[in-house]
Structure 1
Amino acid sequence: MTANSAILSAAELRAELAGSRPPVLLDVRWQLGGPDQRPAYEAGHLPGAVYVDLDHELAGPPGAGGRHPLPDTEAFGAVMRRAGVTSDGPVVVYDGGQGWAAARAWWLLRWTGHPDVRVLDGGLAAWVAAGGTVSADRVTSMEGDFKPTPAASGLLDADGAAARARAGLLLDARAGERYRGEVEPIDPVGGHIPGAVSAPTTENVTGDGRFRPADELRARFEALGVTEGTEVGVYCGSGVSGAHEVLALAVAGIGSDLYAGSWSEWSSDPDCPVATGPDPHESRQP
């Protein structure tokens, strides 16, 4: 993936929507812990955009695999076809501006074989700030034909994440205080996967939610340990903000794999070791 191919600006999206091959638009507004964002979508969305629910359509039921395990492949495909996604037509996803939910949809579509999906940089907020209109009209899409085919690469399980921390680079996209184990508002225990490096994804964007320039992102990741040939993995709390870090790496031209179960899966297994503090390797057994 080349730098910047994973995102586009509001101005670029406006031009593409006016072109001969406009993209399918997916509205993936979401807020951790609620409230449901469908009413916000119904009150105003990009014209023609279809709402996709992250908790129920971009994730399976919470359980041993984490708070947002991957959705059933066939169910995900049905959601995408309902939204009008085709096997080769362009897709643009957006959320309210934070970018995490949009990145989750982007990652799932890319991992399951879609060749042309991008995230609106800065989301709905950037669209409105650039003078873009919103609509409350009900959207009816033509049925798409996209059939997801999960890739053999791009996804890590718990063992793969542990191995990546030992032999490559595993980035923890959560806030630093959660990485260090100082607070843990959601999962059973605080801390991080031994060997993982703290890399909050909030530092990949500017104050308005747009990604930093590709060269700045590359410099940041190089400072965190990315070198030529480094195998990079990413995790977060439940595979949502981690997808945003995978997207940031893609903007910088760096490939990476996502541990989708992330800390919510890891911390629920009593056999998985936990590290606390700022040192990646300061482990304590659970």
Structure 2
Amino acid sequence: MERTGIISAQSLLEINSHTGIKIYDASWHMPDSGRNGHREYMEGHIPYAHFFDIDAISDPESTLPHTMPQTAAFEQHMQKIGINNNDHIIIYDNSPLRSAARAWWMLRYMDHKNVSVLDGGLQAWKAVGGNIETTTPIIKTGDFKARPNVDLLRLITEMLSNLESNVSQVIDARAAARFEGTTPEPRAGLAAGHIPGAINVPFTQLYNGNGTLKTRQELIDIFKAAGVDINASITTSCGSGVTACNLAHALYTLGNKNVAVYDGSWSEWGAYKNAPVSKGL
């Protein structure tokens, strides 16, 4: 049985050519990785898949990396890549960052009702015998209309207010060393450490070695061990708003559909002179 918000490679193999299904490769890599998501998409992708460019589909006025664009701009981007409001959107990636979750969250934030992440990404597709093609499919302009759900996105002002109110649990998806401040941040000029009161659940803990999401009970146990109440208010954070979406997606599959993402994440908090920083656990 499929979990909400996720689809297996075998299921996708069976419905890949159905009308109303749109597939997007949202692979994204760190700038210093030597990899490029769009180049790899052109070298081979799931048949009929288009590319969802996380960097391009962002706010050009922001000084932060790939932040959520304004509503009208996002709507135009989605129409340009062929998305209709009634489409079932399936997002996959070929990235150790599991960046498909970022595109999934962006679409959910803009009120797209039916969007799933391909469990295990491109490697899972290949493992079930799925074909790979290099042909770029023709795009027909979509009719997507965006309606932001403000409950799913947090700004730094709200994060600062939460330090006093503690209304929402804050979960940080970064690796433990970055969370604890024992290793420098990969982006220059940022403080080391974490938002005071935040809980560390490195996003890598959510996945099996083959990139598939762990079982429902395993995820529950991971969050419980970290001290997270999975049914309460939660805001997720990371380095730049990508891997935080993995936490939001995992929690969505567990039934919490109102998890917010701090879009600026540590790229903003770690550079903001008035934001307090904690170190250690």
Q: What's the TM-score once normalised by structure 2's chain length? A: 0.91
Aligned to 2:142: 144
Name the structure 1 match of 2:45. Answer: 45
| Per-residue deviation, 1:18 | 4.1
Q: Distance in 2 between matches of 1:229 and 1:140?
A: 42
3-state secondary structure, aligned to 2:150: coil
Identity level (%)? 34
Aligned partners of 1:164 and 1:233 also within 8 Å = no
Counterpart amino acid of residue 43 in structure 1: E
For 1:226, which of 219, 225, 228 is the aligned residue?
Answer: 228
Alpha-carbon separation, structure 2, partners of 1:53 and 1:241: 16
Equivalent-residue separation in structure 1 for 2:149 and 2:161 (angstroms)? 20
Question: 1:106 matched to which residue of 2?
Answer: 104
**Cα 1:84–1:228, aligned 2, differ >3 Å: closer, same or farther?**
closer
Question: What's the CA shift for 1:76?
Answer: 1.9
The one-character-per-residue Cα deviations of 1:147-169 (angstroms, maximum 9, x if unpaired) are: 11111311111232344452331
Say whether the 8 Å CA contact 1:67–1:265 is kept in structure 2: no
1:179–1:198 contact (8 Å) kept in structure 2: yes
1:88 offset after TM fit, Å? 1.5
> How big is the shift at 1:229?
5.0
Deviations 1:102-140 (A, max 9, x none): 111100101101000001011111101111001111211
In the alignment, the residues of structure 1 paired with residue 140 and residue 62 of structure 2 have an alpha-carbon distance, to the nearest angstrom, of 34
- 8 Å contact kept, 2:231–2:256: no
Cα distance between partner residues in 2 of 1:230 and 1:51: 34
Q: Supply the AA of the counterpart residue of 1:7.
A: I
Secondary structure, aligned partner of 2:24: strand
CA distance in 2, matches of 1:69, 1:32: 15
Q: Which residue of 2 is the match for residue 7 of structure 1?
A: 6
Deviation of 1:83 (Å): 1.8
Partner of 2:187: 186
Stretch moving more, 194-203 or 137-146: 137-146
User: Residue 244 of structure 1 aligns with which residue?
Assistant: 246
RMSD (Å), alpha carbons: 2.0
Contact 2:28 2:97 in 1 (8 A): no
Residue 270 of structure 2 corresponds to: 267
Aligned match of 2:279:
276
Of the structure 1 ranges 222-231 and 78-87, higher mean CA displacement relative to structure 2 is found in 222-231
Once the two structures are superposed, residues 193-250 of structure 1 have per-residue CA deviations (whole angstroms, 9 ceiling, x without a partner) of: 0000111011000111110011211222223233375211100011000011111111
Give yes or no for contact 2:154–2:262 (8 Å, CA) kept in 1.
yes
Task: Tell me the secondary structure at the aligned position of residue 263 of structure 1.
Answer: helix
Greater alpha carbon shift after TM alignment, 254-263 vs 221-230: 221-230
User: How many pairs align?
Assistant: 274
* Ranges in structure 1 where 5+ consecutive residues have no aligned partner: 279-286
One-letter identity of the residue aligned with 1:185: P
Deviation at 1:62, TM superposition (A): 7.5
Conservation of the 8 A alpha-carbon contact between 1:171 and 1:199: yes
| Residue from 249, 257, 260 that aligns with 1:257 | 260
Is structure 2 residue 117 aligned with structure 1 residue 119?
A: yes
Q: Gapped runs of 5+ residues in structure 2?
A: none
Q: Is the 8 A contact 1:181 1:277 kept in 2?
A: yes
CA separation in 2, counterparts of 1:228 and 1:97?
26
Name the counterpart of 2:202.
200
Tell me the amino acid that sits aligned with residue 180 of structure 2: R
**Retained in 2: the 8 A contact 1:97–1:126?**
no
Distance 1:62 1:190, change over 3 A: farther
